Structure 1
Amino acid sequence: MFRNLKEAKTMSENIHHNQHEVEHADDIIDGISSLPDGVLHHMLSLLPTKDVVRTSAVSKRWKNLWASVPNLDFDDTLLYASEVDHIHSPESTSFMNFVERILRLRDTSKIEKFRLSCRVCFNSSRISSWISSAIMYNVRELDLCIFADDSSVIPQSLFDCKSLVILKIEMDCVLVFPPRVSFPCLKTLHLSLVTFPDDDSTGKFFTSCLVLEDLVLLDCDCINLRSLTVSSLTLKRLTIDDILVYEPNGCKIKIDAKNLKYLKYTGYLPNEISLSNAPSLAEASIHIPILNGRQKEVACRAVDLLKGLQNVVFLRVSNCTMECLIFAGSMLARFPVFPKLTHLVLTMEIGDYTFGAFMDLFNFCPTLQSINLSEGFDQCIELGEYDSVWSPVPICISRHLKTLTFKNFHANDSEICFLKCILKYALVLEKMDIWWCTARSRDLKKERDVMKELKMIKRCSTACLITFP
């Protein structure tokens, strides 16, 4: 019995409230279920595949809907985090059986995206059959991350898939290509960790990508190659990330892509990379870390790479790339001029060691309009207002520079000196944005004094606006 009427009333209200919530949830489900299949498929494609299958219990309308969902995502990462014997564990077997059940019960509709990540569960024949199934369903996007050192897990039918538009493969293995390769619709290709087998089959592989627009090579090994030409009339974006150390006898890679618009390179240049035909290249990002003991060799390869960027409008380079130029020596006589470059971003701190190379770079950028020092200066840098680097003043600074962005500003003497020189020599400067270092403890009085000092400096450009965002 209830202790009092108040308790009974409260219990009654709770029951009524819970019943109302259930009815409201049913109304929502009924409302969602009335949506067209295309909309429901889109909603389901945002869920993990195992959760998609669970929706079959929602209502009769949803019972078989999962069987035609366009996106399938199978990932055994959760098994990887456990401490069981992964290969023979019940969880591993359950995962493999789950994948096969989903593919076996699927209807005849096409697969839009098929993602398979196998870091634990590995059975060569079963994985190969899963990929083959996706190909049979005319998959448009295939994303494979397989911890295996044998490329035979990839079925031969993959390399003759007419429906593929996006292909991503991450495997630490020698990627063996069949005699016939045909990708008539492939626009995006991402390869990670793979080792290319030989010059001939690798060259044919890239040539077979007839409409390729976006190529990404992450930590791929060219140790078996002597030379490779990537020739494409459709390629627009190229990303190469090399963590491999310098190789004295590295592969010679030539990029022939007249419609290439964007290039990003990160690495130690273990291979010699050159752009032989890239008149449309407008944006590039180059990061070449210094490799002790190999500075001169890396510098020579860096200059060869930079020579292919002569048409860029936007260039992002690291401080380490600047260091490469220091070791280039006589190679600087062959250093390219960037006649179209208007925007330059430096992505690492500039120090005493690289400031000279930083200023030298301006002499190769005659029409530069915007400089962005995204990490500012090293706090130990020592500059003077009458330093020899300002004689003569680079033409781009005196005649074309319109915007200077200086980040990570500490308000030390060398930084203030540099900004004073820019204000003194930049005839058409319109804006100087100075961003305070967020890591330091703020001295508000010093900040006000520095702001006042810079704003009181006589400027070559009367239109220049100094801001502290």
Structure 2
Amino acid sequence: MEKKVDRISSLPDPLLENVLFKLPIKEAARTGILSKSWKGLWVPHPYISLSDNDLIDDDPDNWSIRNNKFIKIVDKLLLRRHENARIKKLQLSCRQGVEDAVFSRWYGAVLKDGLEELDFNFGRCCEKPLSFLTPCSTLVTLKLYFGPVSGHKFPTSFDFPSLKNMHLNGFMLANNFPEQLLKCQDLENLFLACFMFDNCFSTDQEQVELDQRQVLPNLNHAQIGCCDYSFRGRNDARLFLKNLITVLSNAKSFDLSLSIIEVIN
């Protein structure tokens, strides 16, 4: 009887990787049990989408164990890869959140040219998750959720010339945020939820009223809703909202919360 030959495993690694990268990350990871030659081939996968819900523990209520497993898996995917094996899409969801050091090493490992989508959904996060935003010329989608009223300060400077979609939830925005948005001339969709304003979080530049011609030309949809208690009775906050609305005024569809309308009137 003729012995069966495993012709698939004998294929070159680059060809096998090309096959694996067409699979969802969880399916690609399972191929590691097929043979020694397949083990670890899935690690450089460019499209990563993981949630702590994907992990099955003997004790589903032991969040500490689940969180540690999640962190170890993500560390392996993000940090143990060749420099040329860039991530194009990264979606991470963890209800317990991560510590500052963990977030920083993940963030620094992926935010570089080649990345197209970054989506972090953490129910709770570290004290200061975003001290900077490294310029990234290829980023198209940025989604950051760190709780409905996290109070995390969004950086005063960011440079994403290819950005088309921005979703921010629970952030404290600096007074120059509208001017920074003008750098994203390709922006098509903007969602700002539960954001706050704090005069302690300001830039060195004096806040000035933007010209009505300073708008985002390609904006299709804008939706903004704030925590109104951080805006009431403050002229600087009122000017911030007016500038933000000016920048977004070219949107084909514009959803504005009632609380914002009350503040600017």
Q: TM-score, normalised by structure 2?
A: 0.70
Partner of 2:194: 220
Of 51, 57, 62, the residue aligned with 2:33 is 57
Is 222-231 or 232-241 further displaced after alignment? 222-231
Which structure is higher in RCO with an 8 Å CA cutoff and minimum separation 6? 2
Q: Does 1:263 align with 2:253?
A: yes
What whole-Å deviation, never above 9, does each CA across 1:50-106 have from its counterpart, x for those lacking one? x4322122246633431221111232236799322x2xx333222212221222332
- The 4+ residue runs of structure 1 with deviation greater than 6 A are 225-228
Aligned ranges 1:156-305 → 2 under 5 Å = 156=132, 158-172=133-147, 173-178=150-155, 180-196=157-173, 198-200=174-176, 202-217=177-192, 219-224=193-198, 231-242=214-225, 249=233, 251=238, 252-253=241-242, 254-256=245-247, 260=251, 262-265=252-255, 267=257, 269-272=258-261
Is 175-184 or 127-136 further displaced after alignment? 175-184
Q: Could you list the runs of 5+ residues in structure 1 that have no partner in the other structure?
A: 1-22, 273-296, 302-469
Query: Which structure's CA Rg is the greater one?
Result: 1
Determine the C-alpha separation between the residues in 1 that align with 2:76 and 2:140: 26
Q: Does 1:43 align with 2:26?
A: no
Partner of 1:100: 75
Identity of aligned residues (%): 23
Q: CA deviation at 1:167?
A: 0.7
Does the CA contact (< 8 Å) of 1:151 and 1:176 recur in 2?
no
Aligned AA for 1:255?
Answer: T
Q: 1:148 to 1:228 in 2, by over 3 A?
A: farther
Does the CA contact (< 8 Å) of 1:56 and 1:62 recur in 2?
yes
**Local SS of the residue matching 1:142:** strand
Determine the C-alpha separation between the residues in 1 that align with 2:216 and 2:79: 40
Q: TM-score, normalised by structure 1?
A: 0.43
Aligned AA for 2:255?
Answer: Y
- Work out the number of aligned pairs and report it: 238
Is 144-153 or 127-136 further displaced after alignment? 144-153
Aligned ranges 1:322-341 → 2 under 5 Å = none
Across the aligned residues of Structure 1 and Structure 2, the Cα RMSD in angstroms comes to 4.0
Partner of 1:138: 114
Instruction: From the two aligned structures, give the one with the greater helix fraction.
Output: 1
Aligned AA for 1:147?
Answer: G
Determine the C-alpha separation between the residues in 2 that align with 1:103 and 1:146: 17
Determine the C-alpha separation between the residues in 2 that align with 1:257 and 1:242: 13
Determine the C-alpha separation between the residues in 1 that align with 2:172 and 2:31: 41
What whole-Å deviation, never above 9, does each CA across 1:436-466 have from its counterpart, x for those lacking one? xxxxxxxxxxxxxxxxxxxxxxxxxxxxxxx
Aligned AA for 2:19?
Answer: L
**Local SS of the residue matching 1:96:** helix
